[in-house]
Amino acid sequence: MEKLNKLLEEYEKERGSLIGLLQDIHEEFGYLPEEYLREASRRLNIPLSRFYSLVTFYSTFRLEPIGKHHVCACVGTACHVRGAPLIVDTIERELGIKAGETSEDGEYTLDVVNCVGACALGPLVTVDGEFHGKMTQKSIKKLMKKN
């Protein structure tokens, strides 16, 4: 709560953008814990609904922590035509979770994105920020077993 208090103090001093405050909290903690949103709402005298309207509108914000390993599959046009849907299906089966979920043991979070800007490498998957291009069902199974 000490880190949150520092962020709220900075926001109170400069009355910056509420989105900026949410970004700072998200960056600091990796997600936006409900109790932190409630505390910010109380301290800043801003309705909690205003926080949630921003948090649910922008897909970059998370209300739940991500797993130890963050797997992200690109499903943009170039990756899609090269088999991204099969790659996503394979990852879901290998990890036992659907896109947007975190495994019960907290090891993996699987997300899909529309484009990561590396179209020549499609289908592309990132694991903990590391790019893995030209994925196949066989290579993604091997990659999932490695991590």
Superfamily of domain covering 69-146: Glutaredoxin (3.40.30.10)
| Phi, psi angles (nearest 5°) of residue 131 | -80, 135
Q: Supply the pLDDT for residue 9.
A: 78
Q: Digits of tens for pLDDT over the chain (147 positions)?
A: 788 888 887 777 676 688 989 999 999 998 999 999 999 999 888 999 999 999 999 888 999 999 999 999 999 999 999 999 999 999 999 999 999 999 999 999 999 999 989 999 999 999 999 999 999 999 999 999 887
Q: Supply the pLDDT for residue 70.
A: 94
Q: Supply the pLDDT for residue 109.
A: 96
Q: How many CB atoms lie within 10 A of CB 26?
A: 18
| Phi, psi angles (nearest 5°) of residue 136 | -125, 170
pTM of structure:
0.76
Q: Where are the domains of the chain?
A: 2-57, 69-146
CB 8 within 8 A of CB 40: yes
Q: Supply the pLDDT for residue 139.
A: 96
Q: Supply the pLDDT for residue 8.
A: 84
Q: Supply the pLDDT for residue 6.
A: 83
Distance, CA of 116 to CA of 47 (rounded, Å): 35
Q: Supply the pLDDT for residue 13.
A: 65
Q: Which residue has the tokens 């600091």?
A: 28
Q: Supply the pLDDT for residue 16.
A: 67
Distance, CA of 104 to CA of 116 (rounded, Å): 27
Task: Report which of 142, 116, 144 is spatially closest to residue 131, judged by C-alpha positions.
Answer: 116
Q: Supply the pLDDT for residue 1.
A: 77
